[in-house]
Amino acid sequence: MKKILRINMDDLTFNEERVKSEYEYLGGRALTSQIIKDEVDPACHPLGKHNKVVIAPGLLTGTTAPCSGRLSIGSKSPLTGTIKEANSGGTASQKLAKLGYKAIIIEGAPLRSGLYVIKIDSDGVEIIEADGLKGMGTYQTAKNLRDKYGNDYSVICIGPAGEEKLSAASIAVTNIEGETSRHAARGGLGAVLGSKGIKAIIVNNGKQDKQDIISYKDEKGFKKLATDFAKKLVETKKVLTEYGTANLVEIINSLKGLPTRNFSVGQFEGAEKISGEVLRKRAIERKGRTGHPCQPGCVIRCSNVYKDEKGNFLTSGFEYETIILTGANCGIDDLDTIAKIDKFCDDFGIDTIDTGAAIGVLMESGLIEFGDREGVLNLLEEIRKLTPLGRIIGSGAEITGKIFGVTRVPTVKGQAVSAYDPRVFKGTGVTYATSPMGADHTAGNCLPGRGGYREETKDASKIKHYEGDKIQVALSSDLQVMATVCDSLGFCYFVGATLENMNIFAELVNKRYGLSITGKDMIKLGQKTLEIEREFNKAAGITEVQDRLPEFFREEKLEPSGNVFDVNENEIKKVFDFS
Amino acid sequence: MKKILRINMDDLTFNEERVKSEYEYLGGRALTSQIIKDEVDPACHPLGKHNKVVIAPGLLTGTTAPCSGRLSIGSKSPLTGTIKEANSGGTASQKLAKLGYKAIIIEGAPLRSGLYVIKIDSDGVEIIEADGLKGMGTYQTAKNLRDKYGNDYSVICIGPAGEEKLSAASIAVTNIEGETSRHAARGGLGAVLGSKGIKAIIVNNGKQDKQDIISYKDEKGFKKLATDFAKKLVETKKVLTEYGTANLVEIINSLKGLPTRNFSVGQFEGAEKISGEVLRKRAIERKGRTGHPCQPGCVIRCSNVYKDEKGNFLTSGFEYETIILTGANCGIDDLDTIAKIDKFCDDFGIDTIDTGAAIGVLMESGLIEFGDREGVLNLLEEIRKLTPLGRIIGSGAEITGKIFGVTRVPTVKGQAVSAYDPRVFKGTGVTYATSPMGADHTAGNCLPGRGGYREETKDASKIKHYEGDKIQVALSSDLQVMATVCDSLGFCYFVGATLENMNIFAELVNKRYGLSITGKDMIKLGQKTLEIEREFNKAAGITEVQDRLPEFFREEKLEPSGNVFDVNENEIKKVFDFS
């Protein structure tokens, strides 16, 4: 895997470059962030021709390492103004890796306002005019392209939101079945792709698969280690396999940190109705699926297929964060309604988290009532029709708050906080506040039971998720670093951002590349990537002043715990002191 | 003038404080910025309870110095996120000064969501519930309050835009006739007042006038100097008296820097139709006025009264920037239509500059055509009805661009550039880029004929407004400093931010306060205020990275001059190197 594909949308040309030696052992987020840092003017307009989109498989993507096929997409974000990496499951990343691509760099912007499809396969690369796809949802887009070019193609595409450059636009990636249910959802990267005139990138490694582009220095050793690791995951991640991420609904609710009605309380009276139990029951009853993998080689299989009462497909990968932000956070306790919202967002190509947060803010403004299911479905129609109100919502929670004069807006650096109230999950609050990506739980989610790599964070059982300043900052720091490592290797977050795994990851890298690095080196890679990201942000005008939560989290008690977010600000400033 | 009135909207109380010695010789912008810096957490939410509004007459306001009655209003801006001072003509400032108030500080936010009027007169201060004024335009608000309390009251008030916390909301101040045609328009300060629940502040110095609160160490000397200065202004500012600021339409058009159709060209084919000549002709024909003062003691009298064809009042103080931003910039060449837009903005309480820029951006998005008069009047209806589209426009050009996916958005730090294209007026471009207030021509407008205070800028005839890096930066720096001095003393910008005037101002201050400062000290005061503002901004997370124009000004040639904004970025960084 030694090629970088550079696509210039100014003149619709491309070329393949040898990978610089500095990039050789970088992948995923480490690589996208490094390239964005090296090539993009931090002060550029995120939707202008100077921004770039970098798409990169992880360093271990394409290998037999389980759950290692995430696709990283990096850019300067139109939502946050920061550097951004969002990653997605689905099948495209493994195919890119197997075609020998370490990254795709998309730059420039076409003169004409049409749309293009980039076709990448073993025959090479083609940039194809595709104006006919204009305004098409992601599901239909993927279907059209796969009908035309073949079902062996994975599709990376945007919906109308991305074409319209809405700041909460996502980038969809097809799953095994060819559904656009997996998304690099956060930070508005779909708008950047839209600004380049790219509707879709389709990837098929076809014949190349047999050519052993994925090579190993110690193949036997690698595969043994990968198999052992997979076994361990199968054993320890059963809850995810059975209930999906929705298993968290009742847990987070019982811990009193479930965002409800625009983060005004921490427990939702309707939690049981939208729980993992109910989801699983309905998935089975309605002949959907549980334990559904989003990509080959996933042994956790946290995805599921959720159908409506009549057995029609609604969504796949019906996630906890979607359920809470568009459900509890809007006072909605009906899983079918929430699944419809999810389906819409996936199809239109917008982030469910920022959309749910935006609707919660609108509800707070009084435009519609909390719990008004019909009202929310009407709002989705506004988005679909791209009315001014729809465009506001599609631009995310922060702008929605500004336009409707709401001050209780749960965002950091312009991006919505996720489904863990930071007044209860204080380490996660530190992550929201400080992640170079804006508020993002996947950047380092400090849930109970999670430990870090340093002495004081190693023993998770000694950490209370709502107590202590230094410990919350330390744990957030450790988890942010280790999450960055996962994002860089292509590993799904659910394999675990743990110290134990850092050592396993290092061994896998060694056996693949003939290196002799350690878990500590993995940690250093994560730290370095975070530093690069923060350097970019600083040059983009984002400083540690922006590393804070909205004031209402510090000032309004969250009932029933009565907690506020009270982690000491000076301690928070030390979160990236790695020396 | 030794009192500060502090109003706490948390509990609807107030108290009067002695002025700290550090504040004794500060007024206007120097004082509002110092108090905001001293008392407001730079990271606070601009519309939350931690922000404050400071209202201050200038250091010479209330004296016989001509044109010295500007009212400064300072806060953290919801539009720019920076510290903000916007000042206004009208009669309120002189009355506050004559009541002995050096500043009003408004803090906190009321628990209930109603509206209040603050009544300030020689009987004291009263905080009055005024829910009945909800949704009322500024004209009617002022009329109601003056009908009720007497025509001796000046009114400082917000319109529906401020109540709704729209980011482009202005604060209106009544003129001599009691019309709310004067505005502290920029930076959304109306929204901050709205967030405090304050609909209006009414001021009457009545009896106090006779008590000689305005005292002078050397009254005779002061009045002689003031009279001489007034005479000079009368002689040298005749064009402003006769044609108002609209005299600039043809000048700026002939210099090829007139913002036209969202800053896409620098000359407007309809310029003649919206010129100062036409304005003057119609004002006279329709029995409006020219040479109209906005406050007692104004000898320049650049204001005017503009009526419709039937002789009904439309607007007063029909300004060049309004005419260009809502006219040429929207492709509109009909002065009557533009006057209606101005009237609407004044009444609804929104900034004409950001509103015009927002409409220009919407036109660029294709929502309506450039030049579509009916379309613009329909947009005003959207604003009036507070529809989502209306709220977007009322939130300013930057957000409008984001929501409609437009990248050619003429803003700096979130605030719209004014009626001087920075590709032609490059020093003004430096001011737009670097002013701590966001893009603002009044912060230091480098038009031909204006010189600075340093050796290389003293001779204005040697400076070309479109040539040289160092000279543009030096001139912008000098004019920003001297504009800050004007803003601090209460002087209208039109008296001239010149070195000669700095010396006159120093003499006036000396004769009033018994000091012995020089023009150089005045300059130091301006520099210090700018430094204080930049310190606040830095702590608010706004750094010199934000000190730049949108990229299209550097990359798109402005026809017919073919100019781009090309002032060297490293030179621009030196603009505030005062040492």
Residue B2 has pLDDT above 90, yes or no: no
Do the domain assignments include residue B322? yes
User: Per-residue pLDDT averaged across B48-72, rounded?
Assistant: 97
User: Per-residue pLDDT averaged across A99-118, rounded?
Assistant: 95
pLDDT in tens, B551-577: 999 999 999 999 999 999 999 999 999
Do the domain assignments include residue A579? no
Interface mutation vs chain A, best among B51, B361, B402, B536, most A CBs within 10 Å: B402
Sorting pLDDT into bands at 50, 70 and 90, what band is A2? Answer: confident
Domain end marker among B383, B416, B449: B416
* One domain, residues A204 and A57: yes
* One domain, residues B373 and B443: no
Tell me which residue of A59, A55, A65 sits closest to A202, measured CA to CA.
Answer: A55
Residue B206 has pLDDT above 90, yes or no: no
* One domain, residues A177 and A294: no
How much is the CA Rg of chain A, to the nearest whole Å? 22
Given CB atoms, is A407 within the 8 Å cutoff of chain B?
A: yes
Say whether B405 and A164 touch across the interface (CB within 8 A).
yes
Residue B1 has pLDDT above 70, yes or no: no
**Tokens 């964070």, residue located:** A457
Do the domain assignments include residue B227? no
* One domain, residues A434 and A405: no
Structure tokens that stand for B84 in this block: 């903000």
* One domain, residues B430 and B502: yes
Do the domain assignments include residue B221? no
Residue A515 has pLDDT above 60, yes or no: yes
Sorting pLDDT into bands at 50, 70 and 90, what band is A206? Answer: confident
**CATH value at residue B489:** 1.10.599.10
Say whether A387 and B392 touch across the interface (CB within 8 A).
no
Q: Taking CB atoms and an 8 Å cutoff, what residues of chain B touch A541? A: 542-543, 545-546
Given CB atoms, is A135 within the 8 Å cutoff of chain B?
A: no
**Residue A191: closest C-alpha in chain B:** B405
Given CB atoms, is A378 within the 8 Å cutoff of chain B?
A: no
Residue B501 sits in which domain range? 426-572
Say whether A405 and B546 touch across the interface (CB within 8 A).
no
Q: Taking CB atoms and an 8 Å cutoff, what residues of chain A touch B391? A: 392, 403-404
Do the domain assignments include residue A99? yes
Query: Measured between alpha carbons, how far is A510 from A358 in angstroms, rounded to an integer?
Result: 45
Do the domain assignments include residue A218? no
* Residue A357 · residue A264 · CB < 8 Å: no
Tell me which residue of A125, A60, A59, A62 sits closest to A97, measured CA to CA.
Answer: A62
Domain end marker among B395, B416, B437: B416
Sorting pLDDT into bands at 50, 70 and 90, what band is A212? Answer: low
User: Per-residue pLDDT averaged across B424-449, rounded?
Assistant: 98
In SS3 terms, B395-463 reads as CCHHHHHHHCCCCCCCEECCEECCCCCCCCCHHHHHHHHHCCCCCCHHHCCCCCCCCCCCHHHHCHHHC
pLDDT in tens, A525-563: 999 999 999 999 999 999 999 999 999 999 999 999 999
Number of structural domains chain A divides into: 3
Say whether B48 and A551 touch across the interface (CB within 8 A).
yes
Say whether A395 and B389 touch across the interface (CB within 8 A).
no
* One domain, residues A172 and A144: yes
* One domain, residues A370 and A271: yes
* One domain, residues B245 and B361: yes
Do the domain assignments include residue A10? yes
* One domain, residues A462 and A491: yes
ipTM of the complex as predicted = 0.96
Domain end marker among B386, B416, B446: B416
Residue B18 has pLDDT above 90, yes or no: yes
**CATH value at residue B194:** 3.60.9.10
User: Per-residue pLDDT averaged across B328-335, rounded?
Assistant: 98
* One domain, residues A392 and A245: yes
Given CB atoms, is A185 within the 8 Å cutoff of chain B?
A: no
Please tell me whether the peptide bond between B110 and the residue prior to it is cis, using omega within 30 degrees of 0: no
Q: Which of B195, B402, B546 comes nearest A399 by C-beta? A: B402
Chain A nearest C-alpha distance from B485 (Å) = 29
**Tokens 């715990």, residue located:** A561
User: Per-residue pLDDT averaged across A482-498, rounded?
Assistant: 96
According to the model, what pLDDT value does residue A211 have?
A: 57
Q: Which of A78, A194, A541 comes nearest B545 by C-beta? A: A541
According to the model, what pLDDT value does residue B208 have?
A: 53
Structure tokens that stand for B249 in this block: 């339409």
Query: Measured between alpha carbons, how far is B304 from B317 in angstroms, rounded to an integer?
Result: 5
Give chain A's length.
579
Q: Taking CB atoms and an 8 Å cutoff, what residues of chain B touch A389? A: 388
Say whether A395 and B402 touch across the interface (CB within 8 A).
yes
pTM, rounded to two decimals: 0.97
According to the model, what pLDDT value does residue B212 have?
A: 67
Query: Measured between alpha carbons, how far is A322 from A188 in angstroms, rounded to an integer?
Result: 16
Given CB atoms, is A47 within the 8 Å cutoff of chain B?
A: yes
